[in-house]
Chains A and B, each alone.
Chain A
């Protein structure tokens, strides 16, 4: 019953999206604008239908309805309800259902918030969204159908992949990722709408798109950081980034989107880089689809085993259509996108943005080429190669260091005119902090030139960005006689977008410090201990107390109770574990992390004697790693500041709301 409701909902949604998408150009070309309300209705109806089908699948999972193929594949009566619900995105078919739902939600929101806007931009954007949704419905009825009938109905299922039911972040990282990844469809749809409606040369649609892009970017950033956190907490190797194709797939569009968020300011201020920005915007979407194709089709070998039969060919067809149609549209419209302004001074903010864009684009191509290279090498030379961490680190670390430097320079440079004498004062705080951070890095033992530069430029960027807040608030205190805190909050409220950006910069500095410190000063040691024995890593002593076994509903747990020592006193107790799931032959490591402000003590149980007489543990000292996660929160806070409407916009929005019928 549930199965029939869910799969029929998708079938109807397929018809509705197809009709709505066809209706849009017909209505516009025949001048029947009243028909457009039907294609808007198709967007809402689609959302309602995919919601029904998503809820039905969740209900099927929760009620253990093993007559549904997806439930029989990932469900189990022993799995806790929380992990049962989130197994919605634990395997291919369910994740496509979730994708269709997020896309339906974005499409409905775009149409709802812009339904009163005149012109053909929004209808064409809605058409683009409907067409993308149509593709996902085709997947759901074809190669990724989660609603197939299973007969005879099994009594129980295997449960989700053990790795995916071992940590709470599995409920956080994937939804964030989909909200970010799928959200990139919205700016793309606006770009298509602008090109088809002929409004592409105006800046109006750029302003309309800005907030949507920032929403998707914020989610994608949060998702990438949460993914790093998840892999750090779950996989037991003590790292958070491995340049795996799946990680790269999320990072590549993030790079182009971040470049866009900066370069679009040059377009708004100076009327330059229009074609470039359009390329970044549609490129970001194409790269999300490309990333999905690379990781779901099995074309590239990755530790994230998501490979499935024929779905690759569907994605290939979709990429071909998207790539060809957008390239034709963008190239065909390129005549209209000439620059209105030009670079006036070499040392201006425009230059900083330009350089930033250049580095981000090079970065994007580096990661993209590194990811695709195995494929090219096999085609050209017939050899199998794998591109690993050394390549990516060697290429990306200099770029990251340069970007840290630009992040400090950009905010203090003025628009248009060359830098004047006031620049010196603006740079002082950054230079002082930068030198301080660099020296501290050296004293702590950093000898790698890039590590020292990274500490230095992180300090420099921190000083420069914090300095913008301090100087602005001081100016208000002098001008209006406000108290310093009032001045600061009014300063930020008056230009949330600009200061939101600076907050995000500060978050990036925290992430950079965490990454550099953990990459430079990480220490790890493995030892076999008997009860009462202890080991010391980087000045942190842990003592093995005892090993134990526990039976849980869905698994067996072997754990070691480890005491973290502060002198002779026990300051904390942690229990690294190995979880044995019946469906998996190998135990799932469950490391435990004891965080302090200066770093993490990371404990992973590697092996144990069955009688509990000894255990082998790996202890890693991970300096400043918690700063990465905290920095992620700060970046998201900055994005939220940038998304919230400013007071002026709120006033404008509420005034003429009923103006146009």
Chain B
């Protein structure tokens, strides 16, 4: 045996093994989105599940991102066949209800599923406080670069993607992100006060059903 060469060879193997050991601690499916900081892809989707109470929007109504300007938008992609969606459902629904009357829009987006199954799922889970829209052909999901469900996008009042979360959300995390985005929006609004006034956070659209046919 040539022990000198043998030890050099053994030393050469160490970094490879180290790389793999480190790699095992990573989740290859957790892919950062390039979207945060950029304008959110626009959409116009029909409501299939109206939601409850003050957050309600009638079924069949079209929700457009352009009409949500000034509001913080929480876009949650889900499906009735998704197991992890069950884990986050109750938390998301309860947190959304606490923001009633504030400039925040929670919106479920049904991914690769049929509205009937989506409605049955919502009934099975004991209701959903905010409205859900259908995304036929997963066009909007593709625009948002969806990797799987659930994924949740937090859009700021200027229509930009601020955060993206892969996998189930927790109530604390949703609150933190929504509150901070609302705080930023309020700061920007007050800072911009002296200059020609931008559109203030619109409160008027929070509840009322609205025909959007004429909007551009």
Q: Which residues of A does B touch, CB under 8 Å?
A: 293, 297-301, 312-313, 316, 319-320, 323-324, 327-335, 372, 374-376, 378-379, 384, 585-586
Q: Mark B108-137, 1 if CB is under 8 A from A, else 0.
A: 000011000000000000000000000000
Cβ of B17 within 8 Å of any chain A Cβ, yes or no, is yes
B-side binding surface: helix, strand, loop or mixed? helix
Cβ of B32 within 8 Å of any chain A Cβ, yes or no, is yes
- Give, as a whole number of angstroms, the nearest-CB distance from B129 to chain A: 25
Contacts of A293 in B (CB 8 A): 20
Contacts of A323 in B (CB 8 A): 13, 16-17
Contacts of A372 in B (CB 8 A): 19
Interface residues of B in 78-110 (CB under 8 A from A): 79, 81
Query: Does the CB pair B13–A327 fall under 8 Å?
Result: yes
- The contact of A319 among B3, B17, B112, by CB within 8 Å, is B17
- Give, as a whole number of angstroms, the nearest-CB distance from A589 to chain B: 15
CA distance A372 to B21 in the complex (A): 13
Cβ of B26 within 8 Å of any chain A Cβ, yes or no, is yes
Also in contact, A327 and B113, with CB within 8 A (given A378-B26, A585-B81): no
Contacts of A319 in B (CB 8 A): 17, 20
- Give, as a whole number of angstroms, the nearest-CB distance from B139 to chain A: 14
Interface residues of B in 31-73 (CB under 8 A from A): 31-32
Query: Does the CB pair B32–A384 fall under 8 Å?
Result: yes
Interface residues of B in 5-25 (CB under 8 A from A): 5-10, 12-13, 16-17, 19-24
Closest to B32 in A: A384
Closest to A313 in B: B24
Closest to A297 in B: B24
Cβ of B198 within 8 Å of any chain A Cβ, yes or no, is no
7 A-B pairs in the complex with CB atoms less than 8 angstroms apart:
A299-B20, A301-B29, A323-B17, A327-B10, A327-B13, A328-B7, A328-B9
CA distance A384 to B1 in the complex (A): 43
Also in contact, A379 and B22, with CB within 8 A (given A331-B6, A384-B32): yes
Q: Which residues of B does A touch, CB under 8 Å?
A: 1-3, 5-10, 12-13, 16-17, 19-24, 26-29, 31-32, 79, 81, 112-113
Query: Does the CB pair B79–A331 fall under 8 Å?
Result: no
Contacts of A332 in B (CB 8 A): 1-3, 5-6
Also in contact, A316 and B24, with CB within 8 A (given A327-B12, A375-B19, A384-B32): yes
Query: Does the CB pair A328–B10 fall under 8 Å?
Result: yes
Query: Does the CB pair A335–B24 fall under 8 Å?
Result: no
The total of interchain contacts (Cβ-Cβ below 8 angstroms) comes to 76
CA distance A299 to B19 in the complex (A): 11
Contacts of B27 in A (CB 8 A): 298
- Give, as a whole number of angstroms, the nearest-CB distance from A382 to chain B: 10
Indicate the member of B7, B8, B24, B32 with the most A CB atoms within 10 Å: B24
Contacts of A312 in B (CB 8 A): 24
Contacts of B8 in A (CB 8 A): 331
Closest to A298 in B: B28
CA distance A586 to B148 in the complex (A): 14
- Give, as a whole number of angstroms, the nearest-CB distance from A307 to chain B: 8
- Give, as a whole number of angstroms, the nearest-CB distance from A289 to chain B: 11
Query: Does the CB pair A334–B2 fall under 8 Å?
Result: yes
CA distance A313 to B25 in the complex (A): 10
- Give, as a whole number of angstroms, the nearest-CB distance from B202 to chain A: 37
- Give, as a whole number of angstroms, the nearest-CB distance from A78 to chain B: 19
CA distance A293 to B26 in the complex (A): 15
Contacts of A374 in B (CB 8 A): 28
Query: Does the CB pair A375–B81 fall under 8 Å?
Result: no
User: 6 more A-B contacts (CB under 8 A) besides A316-B17, A320-B13?
Assistant: A301-B29, A331-B9, A332-B3, A333-B1, A335-B5, A376-B19
Indicate the member of B9, B10, B17, B79 with the most A CB atoms within 10 Å: B9
Contacts of A334 in B (CB 8 A): 2, 5
